[in-house]
Amino acid sequence: MRTNLMLSAVGAFVLLAAGAVLLPDWAMFLCAMALAKGLVSLGIVGMMRGGLVSFGQGLYYCLGAYTATLVAGQLGVSDIFLLTLLSAGVCLVVGALFGPLLAGYRGIFFAMLSLALSMVLYGTLAKLTVLGGTDGLNIGAPTFFGWDPEGRALQTALYLYVAVLVVVAGTLMRIYFDSEQGLITLATRDNELRVEYLGASVRTVMSYNYVFGAVLGGIGGTIAALALGHVDPEFAFWTTSGEFVFVAILAGYLSVPAVFVAAIILEMVRSFSNLYFPNTWQLALGIFLLIVIVVLPNGLGSLVRRRKGDAT
Amino acid sequence: MTQAVLDVRDVQKSFGAVTAAKDINVSVPEGAVYSLIGTNGAGKTTFVNMVTGYIKPDSGVINFAGRNITGMGPRQITRLGIHRSFQIAQLCNELTVEENMVVAATIHKSARPSFWRNAHGAEARERALATLERFRIAEHRNRLIPELSGGVKKLLDIAMAIAGQTKVMLLDEPTSGVAADEKFPIMDLVIEALRAEGVTVIFVEHDMDIVTRYSDRVLAFYDGRIIADDAPEEVLSDPDVQRYVTGGAA
Amino acid sequence: MDLAATILVDGLIYAGWLFIVSVGLTLVFGVLNILNIAHGSLYAIGAYAAASMVGAYFAWGGDAFPYGSYVAMIVAALLVALVLGPLLERGLLRFFYGRDEVLNVLVTYAVFLILEDVMKLIWGVNPYFVYEPYTLLGDVEMGPLFYVGYDFAVIAAAIIVGLAVWLSLNRTRMGKVVLAVIHDSEMSQTMGVNVQRIYLGAFMAGAFLAALGGALTAPMISVTPGLGVNVIIVAFAVVIIGGLGSIPGAAIGALMVGISRAASVHMLPEAELFIIYFVMAIVLLFRPEGLFAKTQARKI
């Protein structure tokens, strides 16, 4: 029954892995960053399926990044798997703490509260001189089960690692989206009252989505920190979170691969515009966002995947 | 008479200066079919909302099968087996009829839905389809909600509520928004299905023909109070009821 | 002067500024039901426009009567409202009325992104300084501390803005209609209110207040790109604390945030950058829709 899904997963990985051979260094770095950020946006998409949009995923992106950096710096851990696991774990705990609390809020209030939390982290980190203040901290190159690559090999290894994470996380989220709980999430987005009156807890639905978003955010942040070799409080700033939302909106909630396509598009538009029109790239982005909202209200995903019943 | 499955004692509720429920005392025996009549704003929907936990009474006690359910939320009360339908059908507009039904069946089946099992699997769809067929709306299964007629929406709304182990069913105006010639067929279908399973039914209704035909007993509401509580013929011939409920307006 | 008094004075100055930048945001939300991120851009444009205007004023011989620069600042804010208000409301936002609140936040986020670059195209990326209006009012001595007179002028401006908004809402026919729309726009529509005109008027008033906030701030800072980014988030916090759409809420929210930030600056400087959000989170914990929110139960 899941053969198609598995085949798509393998196909997606082959496609991404081909990039490791074909892409020049700069493009591989760009793609690795885009995929890492795509993971964060995938978490927002999960929440969007329940009708919530978090404007504060920078919280977990930053938390994951700082956890990895501190563990690497203080405890001398450089193994990428361990770092990812630890960051994801910290974000899981924090997410499980805030999730049930935030799950009681809707619409703008959820968006603003999640944003407030990320700004609290931003404000704290910017003032904490032990953690580098606004300058942030550096993190060394990761190792892979003791293997310690350099140069292009390191780039490639990091890129392939993100590719694996993206495929695994994407597949798991697809299974979740199509599951019983996933369908109840969609129903919640539509009509909370109905869901409560069927006997399911809307709060629980939202809490799970929030926690998944937190873990994905933490993993994305860890990868970004390792790819950049540096973290700073801007990871938690609201404009960073805004970009994650941008990607989620661009992708829509229907298709998982669309999230990563959208993330790569954004990252490409950004780097090209930065190069050629440094003063108008936000302008282009804004117009682009408006067009997506008007023309493709369900995002890029609606181009490849339709909801049942739309065809009739 | 069998023991009361739903027992409402001295319930009061007001919204600011408006009294929505005053000295409400109702005792519904198991398996009975009750109807609630009264003009708009008389307190019928408030009654349904209080029994199902959407609003909490200011004072008084609501017992279900000997258990105090006053102050519980809709979810807990639903889990106990008190289900309801809505004046305006509460459906998920972006899902198909079948998916709506799958959602209902999934939640009713287990308090802990799976994060892994595919909701669109053959088993889940078959189960949903069976209920849809029972309510004769299976032909619409692949349509989205906004395309449906009022009658089909109502039936789906009720079918979703009944998908669980219903013990008490509250129907809030099951025939409002339904074409005139569909009203009796819908009520036939619904009441028959509920009676067959021994479900206790309370329905809100404006059409007195439907009230007399389907209910064993009628509660007439006026200004937040119950002014009559008796067999349909008795209530409808009551001078107060004729004056405040059925007369004039109807 | 003791600590409490210092905190109070600093807090009031900051609260005055906060109120001016957030009251327009809450007004626009109340009427249009749109939480306008571009409010921050209007603030920044107001600051730039005021900087240019004041610069031009002195360049054309304003030294003879320097106080005229205050008029130039207000005129700048008015111009921003008159040009951008209709452009944004009629040209874009009206197509999104009644849509999902969060979607509308994204629409205004797009506008925000666009305006960020438009500002760079018009004013470039180099900072503007117009300190003259700031120093014009001299210093005020309070015990051992000196305050710049202009800071108190900001408090005065906030009080005037608050009174003006309150009077025009409660003491004019038009204002009462606006309050009716805030309360229930569908109902007002059926009662024959020209909602379109109210929407445009409210948005322009909101734009003016945002631009005025920027204009008043321009002399106190160097006007540079990215000015609107922080302001909008702070203003959001204030209106969420007060309850979206509530004018008194914006005032109370501004006071709470102003005083707590001043307290944190003097007593716990580490918390300065996040105290606002902390206050907001606490308020929402106990009042999930803010202090003065209109709560409506859904009818089923």
**The predicted structure's pLDDT at residue C298:** 61
Domain closes at, from B125, B142, B164: B164
pLDDT of B163 higher than 80: no
Answer yes or no: do B70 and B41 share one domain.
yes
With respect to residue B108, please indicate whether it lies within any of the assigned structural domains. yes
Per-window interface: B 82-101 vs C, CB < 8 A: 86-88, 90
Q: Lowest mean pLDDT of A68-77, B20-29, C37-46, C284-293, name the range.
A: C284-293
**The predicted structure's pLDDT at residue A273:** 80
Per-window interface: B 157-186 vs C, CB < 8 A: 172
Residues 6 or more apart whose CB falls under 8 angstroms from that of C172 comprise none
pLDDT of A308 higher than 70: no
How confident is the model over B101-114, as a mean pLDDT?
88
- Quote the domain boundaries for residue B158: 91-164
With respect to residue B101, please indicate whether it lies within any of the assigned structural domains. yes
User: Which helix (H) or strand (E) element contains residue C267?
Assistant: helix C247-267
Q: What chain A residue is nearest to C300 in terms of C-alpha separation?
A: A193
Q: Lowest mean pLDDT of C139-148, C184-193, C211-220, name the range.
A: C184-193
| A307 at B interface, C-beta within 8 A | yes
Q: Phi and psi of A299, rounded to 5°?
A: 80, 180
| A5 at B interface, C-beta within 8 A | no
The 8 Å CB, 24+ separation contacts for B246-250 are: B246/B37, B246/B208, B249/B39, B250/B206, B250/B208
CA distance A2 to chain B (A): 9
With respect to residue A82, please indicate whether it lies within any of the assigned structural domains. yes
The SS3 call for residue B29 is: strand
What pLDDT band is residue B18 in, cutting at 50, 70 and 90?
A: confident
Reading phi first (left if > 0) and then psi (alpha if -120 to 50, else beta), residue B2 is in beta
DSSP code string of C36-91: -TTHHHHHHHHHHHHHHHHHHHHHTTGGGSTTHHHHHHHHHHHHHHHHHHHHHHHH
Residues 6 or more apart whose CB falls under 8 angstroms from that of B125 comprise B98, B102
Answer yes or no: do B77 and B170 share one domain.
yes
| H-only helix segments in B56-169 | 74-80, 97-109, 122-134, 150-162
Q: Which of C21, C2, C5 is nearest to C257 (CA)?
A: C21
What pLDDT band is residue C261 in, cutting at 50, 70 and 90?
A: very high
| H-only helix segments in chain A | 3-22, 25-48, 58-75, 80-102, 107-127, 151-178, 180-190, 192-198, 202-228, 238-251, 256-276, 281-295, 301-304
> Which structure tokens are listed for C187?
């109902």
Per-window interface: B 168-227 vs A, CB < 8 A: none
Q: What is the largest CA-CA distance in chain A?
A: 61
ipTM for this model: 0.91
With respect to residue B86, please indicate whether it lies within any of the assigned structural domains. no
**The predicted structure's pLDDT at residue A288:** 86
A209, A42 contact by CB (below 8 A): no
Answer yes or no: do B144 and B181 share one domain.
no
- Return d(Cα B115, Cα A110) in angstroms, integer: 24
C121/A279 touch (CB, cutoff 8 Å), yes or no? yes
With respect to residue A257, please indicate whether it lies within any of the assigned structural domains. yes
**The predicted structure's pLDDT at residue C300:** 64
| B56 at C interface, C-beta within 8 A | no
- Return d(Cα B38, Cα B179) in angstroms, integer: 21
Q: What is the largest CA-CA distance in chain C?
A: 68
Q: What chain A residue is nearest to B104 in terms of C-alpha separation?
A: A198
pLDDT of C295 higher than 70: no
Q: Phi and psi of C99, rounded to 5°?
A: -85, 175
Q: What chain C residue is nearest to B54 in terms of C-alpha separation?
A: C300
Answer yes or no: do B21 and B46 share one domain.
yes
The alpha carbon torsion through A211, A215, A220, A222 (nearest 10 deg) reads: 140
Say how many residues make up chain C: 300
**The predicted structure's pLDDT at residue C193:** 74
DSSP class of residue A134 equals G
What pLDDT band is residue C299 in, cutting at 50, 70 and 90?
A: low
Beta carbon pairs, B and C, within 8 Å = 9
**C89-125 pLDDT tens trace:** 999 999 998 888 888 888 999 999 999 999 999 999 8
Q: How many Å from the N-terminal Cα to the C-terminal Cα in chain A?
A: 25
- Return d(Cα B180, Cα B176) in angstroms, integer: 9
**The predicted structure's pLDDT at residue B249:** 45
**C274-283 pLDDT tens trace:** 888 889 888 9
Q: Phi and psi of C109, rounded to 5°?
A: -65, -40
What pLDDT band is residue A310 in, cutting at 50, 70 and 90?
A: very low
Q: Give the HSE-up count for residue B104: Cα atoms under 13 Å, Cβ half-sphere.
A: 34
Answer yes or no: do B40 and B105 share one domain.
no
A71 to each of A68, A273, B241, C131, how far by Cα in Å?
5, 35, 77, 47
> Which structure tokens are listed for B97?
């009829």
pLDDT of B248 higher than 80: no
Answer yes or no: do B209 and B236 share one domain.
yes
Q: Lowest mean pLDDT of A301-310, B76-85, B174-183, name the range.
A: A301-310
The pLDDT mean for chain A works out to: 92
The SS3 call for residue A187 is: helix
Q: Which of C161, C150, C156, C119 is nearest to C217 (CA)?
A: C150
CA distance C5 to chain A (A): 26
Q: What chain C residue is nearest to A116 in terms of C-alpha separation?
A: C277
CA distance C247 to chain B (A): 24
**The predicted structure's pLDDT at residue A274:** 81
With respect to residue B218, please indicate whether it lies within any of the assigned structural domains. yes
DSSP code string of C85-127: HHHHHHHTGGGGTTS-HHHHHHHHHHHHHHHHHHHHHHH-SS-
CA distance A253 to chain C (A): 14
Contacts of A198 in chain B (CB under 8 A): 78, 103-104, 107-108, 160-161, 164
- Quote the domain boundaries for residue A149: 3-304
How confident is the model over B12-18, as a mean pLDDT?
88
Q: Phi and psi of C254, rounded to 5°?
A: -60, -40
- Return d(Cα A181, Cα A212) in angstroms, integer: 13
Structural domains of chain B, count: 2
The SS3 call for residue B226 is: strand
What CATH number is associated with residue A57? Answer: 1.10.3470
Contacts of C272 in chain A (CB under 8 A): 123, 127
- Return d(Cα B137, Cα B145) in angstroms, integer: 12
**The predicted structure's pLDDT at residue A284:** 86
**C143-182 pLDDT tens trace:** 777 788 898 999 999 999 999 999 998 888 888 888 888 7
What are the domain boundaries of chain C?
A: 3-286
Burial of A101 (0-12, 13-18, 19+ CB in 10 A): middle
Per-window interface: C 169-228 vs A, CB < 8 A: none
B121/A309 touch (CB, cutoff 8 Å), yes or no? no
> Which structure tokens are listed for B195?
């009676």
Evaluated on CA atoms C2, C4, C7, C11, the torsion sign reads negative
> Which structure tokens are listed for C113?
């992104």
What CATH number is associated with residue B23? Answer: 3.40.50.300
**The predicted structure's pLDDT at residue C37:** 92
Contacts of C125 in chain A (CB under 8 A): 279
What pLDDT band is residue A59 in, cutting at 50, 70 and 90?
A: very high
What pLDDT band is residue A311 in, cutting at 50, 70 and 90?
A: very low
How confident is the model over B62-90, as a mean pLDDT?
94
With respect to residue B98, please indicate whether it lies within any of the assigned structural domains. yes
Of B52, B92, B113, the CB nearest to A180: B113
C3-286 CATH fold: ABC transporter involved in vitamin B12 uptake, BtuC (1.10.3470)
What pLDDT band is residue B41 in, cutting at 50, 70 and 90?
A: confident
Burial of B11 (0-12, 13-18, 19+ CB in 10 A): buried
**A268-303 pLDDT tens trace:** 988 888 888 777 888 888 998 899 889 988 888 888
**The predicted structure's pLDDT at residue C135:** 85
pLDDT of C77 higher than 80: yes
Q: Lowest mean pLDDT of B141-145, B182-186, B192-196, C192-196, name the range.
A: C192-196
Question: What residues pair up with C223 in beta bridges, in sequence order?
Answer: C128
C200, C90 contact by CB (below 8 A): yes
How confident is the model over C200-212, as a mean pLDDT?
95
**A28-39 pLDDT tens trace:** 999 999 999 999
pLDDT of C185 higher than 80: no
pLDDT of B2 higher than 60: no
| A182 at B interface, C-beta within 8 A | yes
pLDDT of C252 higher than 90: yes
